[in-house]
Structure 1
Amino acid sequence: MCRVVDVQQAVLAKNDGLAAALRADLAQRGVTVVNLLSSPGSGKTALLECVLRRAVQRGVPVAALTADLATENDARRLARSGAPVKQVLTGGLCHLEADQMRGHLEGWLPDGTRVLFVENVGNLVCPASYDLGERLRVAMMSVTEGEDKPVKYPTAFGLANLVVLGKTDLAEAVGFGEREFAASVERVNPGVEVVRTSSRSGEGVDLLLDRVLAVCDGDLPHQPALAAGHLRAHPHEHGPDGGHVHDHGDGPAHHHDHDPAHDPGPGAETARATGVPIR
């Protein structure tokens, strides 16, 4: 097999440049982007709905961009908060990139928006490598996922400015070990704050929103001790048939056949966005 790590690093470097430009443009408009990462089933959509609803109640101009491989279910749920929401259907792509972000925001993001929440694709591997122009990166997990989740996914949790623990109302029922979890977080991201939340009880919803608004007001978010370049390598290997193999480090590598129809090249549109009306 022929390793192409250098190509991947070039792709990430290009994305970083686009993300920096997007961050600067949005800052001029007074918009702070929050990139929310988690695995599927963590409860991030339910929690984000609560945060959006609370923001609307408090008069904070917020919006949300939610990404998924298929269906507009998440956008419909988030739209119940009363905030402007847009769904991005990635058609199989496992993450968002900065150029996609810019394209989806053009002509849609309402003037006066203070916070844009981005619910990334449910995945703790690929999305962790891509800067979306955010000022605050949040890594979330639920108590049902196990205390060692952060050390299993050190890139996602190690580069987070804030860590959110969800479904805390179930902690006792599932025997979740708070001490072991805290040690796992500290191991990959020393000093990062953990916000305990529950979309059912409402625990932590206001605190999470307050942390976001503090960054909007100029507070410097937690800076991970580990440099991004030391964690972000996501090597791909080309298979003998021209496809490529992902080695995510958490299990066996998986192979994707190369299909030009699904690999249009850098800068090409790879996702479809649809607006979801607020009812």
Structure 2
Amino acid sequence: MEIIALIGHSGTGKSYKAIAVAKERDIEYIIDDGLLIRGNKIVAGKSAKRENTIVSAIRRAVFMDNVHRLEVRNAIIKHNPSKILILGTSDKMIDKITSSLRLPEACERIYIEDISTEEEIDIARKYRKKEGKHVIPVPTFEVKKDFSGYFIDSLKIWRKKENPKEHTVYEKTVVRPTFSYHGKYTISDGVIKDLLRHVASKVIGISKVYGVQIKSLEQGIIISFNVEFMYGNPIMPLITLMQKQIIYEVENMTSLNILAVDVTVKKIVIP
């Protein structure tokens, strides 16, 4: 197994460059901030960006937690990759990760200054310092369940191939971690209920929405409520439409992960 290290100080654009580096060196697996990633999938681990403090984030990133370390170690044994790209802020961090996961020492060390221009690094630093945003090199749907309620956005990178008619799209995710200096925010159930009622009011045939309940889980929320329908309207198509619209509106405005929207038709109203 070959271990290749990508090294750079925090906020210099390592995660942004990771997919390109892996692609150029034919590396399928990446270890970044506590996650084992293969292509567009998180194979194992928990993101350090989900920790409440910088200290706990560092501990997570170097696999100091026994359960976390064992999960990722077992996944590596199971998948048996020929190469792994490990991201770290220093040579010492890379060595700590390989030691924790009982991996070979890095046979190649790539420094961010060697693959990024000074301008690119400066932009990355300003982006991190000003807005507190971090990049995770997997698509948004892969990390959203772990970052429900936090700033989250997708970033698509287009890479041209030798054939000008061909291209590859790599998607990355931008998050604002729990330990961001910008502080925390809370979205009350009342806001979600107001959004739900607003969406429902635009669906033809619904005369009343009531009994709204919000169930919060670690990976997101479940919304359930009752409705009354006006007689003569197709119930199932309209409910399906309403569910899709609620998921879209609430997720778009709050970044909460909607696990389910359960609707109960309690009454048919005859004019």
* TM-score over 0.5 for the pair: no
The normalised TM-score by structure 1 is 0.29
Look at both structures and tell me which one has the larger radius of gyration over its CA atoms: 2
Higher relative contact order at CA 8 Å, sep ≥6: structure 1 or structure 2?
1
Question: Which structure shows the higher strand fraction?
Answer: 2
